[in-house]
Each structure stands twice: as C-alpha cells, then as structure tokens.
Amino acid sequence: MIKQCILSASALLVGVFSSSLLAHEGHEHDSVVAQLQVTNAQVREFLPATKASVGYFSIENHSNVPATLTRATIDGLGRVEIHEHVHADGMMKMQKVESLLIKAHQQLDFKPGSYHLMVFEPQEPLKVGQERKLTLYFEDGNRVFTNAKVVSLASQAEPVKASKDHSHH
C-alpha cells in the first residue's frame, strides 16, 4: 500500500512538473510570434496581359529571438513567392528566397528594389481598394495574419495607410 502511494505521488509530481515545462515552453513560443508586427501590407493589381504582380509590407520583430519567414499566401492567389533583388556581375537581378531571417529587434521592409512578394495565378481579379488576407508562415510553425490592400501601379509609390491589426496562430 505504501509503495503504491509513493508511486502515485511520484507520477503526480512528474506530471505536474512536465505540464509546467510544456506550458512555459508554449508561452515562450507564442510570445515570439505575438511580437511580430506587420504593417503597410499591399499587393498591386495585375496589369493587363501580365502573369505576375508584386506585394510589399514591413515586418518588425519586437522579440529577443530571431524568426525565420519561410513562405506566404494571399487569399485569391494561387502562388506567392518571397523574392529579393541582388547586385551580381554589375546587374540587378531578382531571385527567389527559400527562407528569410528576421533578427531580434529588426525591421525588414519589403519594398521595390529589395525584398518583395511575387504573386501569381489570380483565381479572380484583384480590384483596387479590396483587401486580401496575407498569411506569413514561420519555420517554427507559427503564422501571422494581416490584410493586404490592393493598390494600382500609380498609387503604389504612395505609402499605404493600412491597418496595424494582425493576429497570430
């Protein structure tokens, strides 16, 4: 009987201790993504006879640990790729990026001549003024959601007054 009580008490302590560790790890894990802020998200409408367009936004990592962006999706678009412009052999060229490290306390701007989203395969026309859900996926499995405003080529040079609202999973 005493042996059974000791085993039960030991099992209970192990269960409580491991639950506390898991809860703490989960809290730490969630706090990183909760500190990623996306602003000024926009996607340019597709121009006539084009098969691709572009998206821009700013992301700021307010946490003490880096976050690695691995992919993005935008509602109504079949494919979204992360790209960058690089200088090579005296020329500017664009290349796909498989992952992008956002250092602790760093802001990255996806903008012309730098990082940007290449968007393809619209499932329906993008209309200026619409908002489309942008989802950013991170290496640790977390996601950040925001709305990207559809803009015209002419207005794209102007800063977008997008909502700073974003949510996490």
Q: Provide the token pair at 160.
A: 């977008």
Which region among 94-108, 120-134, 151-165 has the lowest average model confidence (pLDDT)?
Answer: 151-165
Tally of domains within the chain: 1
70-84 burial: b if 16+ Cβ within 10 Å, else e: ebbbbebbeebebbe
In this prediction, residue 108 has a pLDDT band, given cuts at 50, 70 and 90, of very high
Residue 9 falls inside a structural domain: no
The rounded percent of the chain whose pLDDT value lies above 90 is 62
Residue 56 falls inside a structural domain: yes
Interatomic CA distance for residues 152 and 156, integer angstroms: 6
Residue 141 falls inside a structural domain: yes
* 6 has a pLDDT exceeding 80: no
Residue 168 falls inside a structural domain: no
Confidence (pTM)? 0.73
Average pLDDT over residues 115-139: 96
Average pLDDT over residues 43-52: 92
Interatomic CA distance for residues 76 and 66, integer angstroms: 30
* 87 has a pLDDT exceeding 90: no
Residue 111 falls inside a structural domain: yes
Q: Which domain holds residue 46?
A: 35-162
Cβ partners under 8 Å of residue 37, min gap 6? 59, 60, 62, 164, 166
Residue 26 falls inside a structural domain: no
Residue 7 falls inside a structural domain: no
Average pLDDT over residues 127-153: 96
User: Residue 15: what pLDDT?
Assistant: 43
The rounded percent of the chain whose pLDDT value lies above 70 is 72
Q: Other C-beta atoms within 10 Å of 90: how many?
A: 5
Considering Cα of 109, then 115, then 50, then 153, what sign does the dihedral take? positive
Average pLDDT over residues 101-116: 96
Here the CATH number for the domain that contains residue 141 is: 2.60.40.1890
Residue 12 falls inside a structural domain: no
